[in-house]
């Protein structure tokens, strides 16, 4: 017999079993207290339903296309969780009916091609199946206007995970027609949805949205603020430098770090004062990004501060400082660092230190260090010779 038909028959049997619960008498627990008989019947139905779900998963695994996962639907409770904790018969029947409904959609979907399956899942009451419906439709939505329109409609879904998935899909699909709807998502109650909407504008390269995204720099959620900074960097919104600079005093270190990085990427010259302040940030990642960005935006007033840091630095930001100072016209630290690392590459007794010196020179002074790499090919240590060969290969 067709596996799908077997499953459909089993579903019908489960529905009949659920209806029969309404007329069952009561029994007693082991402690002697009176317990509704339907409690035991519900548990039997739970077990039957669980076995059916396992069989359905076995069928789905045989399909050539990735099939839905068995992640419980929102609000679904496992059989174990209901042991001794069944509230009322109507509530339990409603919950089981929801699971049966999900299985019905999945079984119907097995009879369809993957695209029709996606449309079927979209109509489900289960958020998990709607998510899987979006996943199925996004495979063809690039060339199918109806599929794209269906995914756009999911931006209005009641479940935030579904809205987030729809926004993500539309971003990947470069569906700029969804821009007006995506702008509305920037006001969504769920921060994950807002963040995904910001990311979609960045994916599209939608420069016209820069003013809207700049407003998200004031979002109450740190992850949204960070995403907004990243998006403005991707869109090259150089006129947002002043607003981004204000985030260098944000309560979130991740936001401050992203702001320091993006100010350099968009060459925001007006961000120099805030970046100079960020050189004293309590977070070393923020300090590192501030160093690099001061060099990228061309802020000569930063030279004495960076020089002082270079003299005091024990190694972590040394190369960043050298690169930044060189970009600002101060070559001496660059020459000094090349000489120091060259001495390590030839004189240090630790082969690991010699190898690291070759690797570091390759990262910031490859052209000036080719003679050093060539000499290092004669090193007695395999790792040092390998680093030298790699540095000479890279152009």
Q: Do 202 and 326 sit in the same domain of this protein?
A: yes
In a domain, 179, yes or no: no
Least confident range of 62-66, 268-272, 327-331: 62-66
Q: Is 229 part of a structural domain of the chain?
A: yes
Token pair of 250, please? 């944000």
Taking phi over 0 as left and psi of -120 to 50 as alpha, with beta for the rest, 221 belongs to beta
Of 295, 330, 365, which residue is a domain's last?
330
pLDDT of residue 120: 85
Average predicted confidence (pLDDT) for the chain: 83
Distance CA(99)–CA(49), nearest Å, equals 8
Residue 75 banded pLDDT, cuts 50, 70, 90: very low
Statement to judge: residues 355 and 278 lie in one domain: no
Give yes or no: residues 322 and 355 share one domain: no
Same domain, 270 and 324: yes
Look at residues 308, 330, 352 and tell me which one is the last residue of a structural domain.
330
Q: Are residues 346 and 326 in the same domain?
A: no
Residue 308 in domain: yes
With beta carbons less than 8 A apart as the criterion, state whether 379 and 388 touch: yes
pLDDT band at 59 (very low <50, low <70, confident <90, very high): low
pLDDT-based confidence at residue 155 (cuts at 50, 70, 90): very high
| pLDDT 10s digits, 261-310 | 999 999 999 999 999 999 999 999 999 999 999 999 999 999 999 999 99
Res 378: pLDDT:
95
Over residues 216-235, mean pLDDT: 98
pLDDT at 194 over 60: yes
Same domain, 283 and 376: no
Residue 40's pLDDT is what? 62
Same domain flag for 204 and 292? yes
- Structure tokens given for 46: 């739970």
Residue 58 pLDDT > 70: no
Query: What is the domain range of residue 356?
Result: 340-395
Phi, psi of 34 (to 5 degrees): -75, 130
Q: Give the per-residue pLDDT at 117.
A: 79
Residue 352 sits in the same domain as residue 375: yes
> pLDDT value at position 364?
94
Phi and psi for 166 in degrees, rounded to 5? -65, -45
- What are the residues whose beta carbons fall under 8 Å from the beta carbon of 195, sequence distance 6 or more? 221, 223, 224, 227
The answer to whether position 228 is within a domain reads: yes
List residues bridging with 28 in a β-sheet: 34
- 205, part of any domain: yes
Domain membership flag for residue 335: no
CATH code assigned at 299? 1.25.10.10
- Report the pLDDT value the prediction gives residue 78, as an integer from 0 to 100: 46
43 CB contacts (<8 Å, ≥6 apart)? 79, 82, 83, 86
pLDDT at 244 over 90: yes
Q: Is residue 53 part of a domain?
A: no
- Residue 31 located in a structural domain: no
Q: Quote the pLDDT of residue 42.
A: 60
Q: Which of these ranges, 19-33, 89-103, 158-172, 174-188, has the smallest mean pLDDT?
A: 19-33
In angstroms, the CA 289 to CA 134 distance is 38
Q: How many domains does the chain have?
A: 2
Q: Do residue 359 and residue 321 come from a single domain?
A: no
**What whole-number distance in Å separates Cα of residue 359 and Cα of residue 109?**
55
Domain boundary among 330, 361, 378: 330
């Amino acid at each position: 017999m067709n596996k799908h038909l077997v499953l459909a028959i089993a579903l019908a049997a489960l529905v009949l079993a659920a209806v029969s619960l309404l007329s069952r008498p009561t029994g007693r627990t082991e402690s002697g207290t009176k317990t509704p008989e339907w409690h035991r019947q519900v548990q039997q139905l739970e077990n039957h339903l669980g076995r059916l779900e396992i069989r359905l998963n076995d069928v789905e695994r045989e399909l050539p296309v990735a099939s839905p996962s068995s992640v419980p639907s929102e609000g679904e409770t496992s059989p174990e969780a209901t042991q001794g904790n069944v509230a009322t018969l109507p509530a339990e029947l409603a919950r089981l009916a929801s699971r049966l409904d999900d299985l019905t959609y999945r079984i119907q979907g097995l009879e369809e091609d993957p695209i029709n399956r996606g449309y079927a899942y979209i109509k489900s009451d289960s958020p998990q199946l709607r998510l899987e419906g979006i996943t199925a439709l996004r495979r063809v939505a690039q060339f199918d206007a109806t599929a794209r329109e269906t995914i756009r409609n999911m931006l209005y879904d009641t479940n935030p995970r579904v809205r987030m998935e729809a926004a993500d899909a539309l971003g990947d699909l470069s569906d700029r027609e969804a821009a007006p709807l995506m702008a509305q998502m920037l006001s969504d109650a769920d921060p994950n949805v807002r963040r995904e909407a910001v990311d979609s504008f960045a994916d599209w390269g939608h420069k016209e949205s820069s003013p809207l995204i700049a407003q998200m720099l004031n979002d109450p959620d740190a992850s949204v603020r960070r995403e907004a900074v990243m998006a403005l960097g991707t869109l090259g919104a150089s006129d947002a430098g002043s607003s981004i600079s204000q985030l260098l005093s944000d309560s979130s270190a991740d936001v401050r770090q992203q702001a320091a990085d993006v100010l350099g990427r968009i060459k925001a010259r007006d961000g120099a004062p805030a970046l100079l302040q960020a050189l004293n940030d309590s977070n070393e990642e923020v300090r590192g990004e501030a160093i690099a960005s001061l060099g990228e935006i061309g802020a000569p007033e930063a030279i004495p501060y960076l020089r002082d840091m270079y003299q005091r630095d024990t190694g972590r930001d040394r190369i960043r400082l050298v690169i930044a100072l060189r970009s600002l016209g101060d070559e001496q630290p660059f020459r000094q660092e090349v000489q120091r690392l060259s001495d390590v590459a030839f004189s240090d007794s630790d082969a690991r230190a010699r190898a690291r010196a070759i690797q570091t020179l390759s990262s910031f002074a490859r052209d000036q260090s080719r003679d050093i790499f060539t000499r290092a090919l004669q090193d007695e240590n395999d790792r040092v010779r390998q680093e030298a060969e790699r540095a000479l290969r890279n152009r």
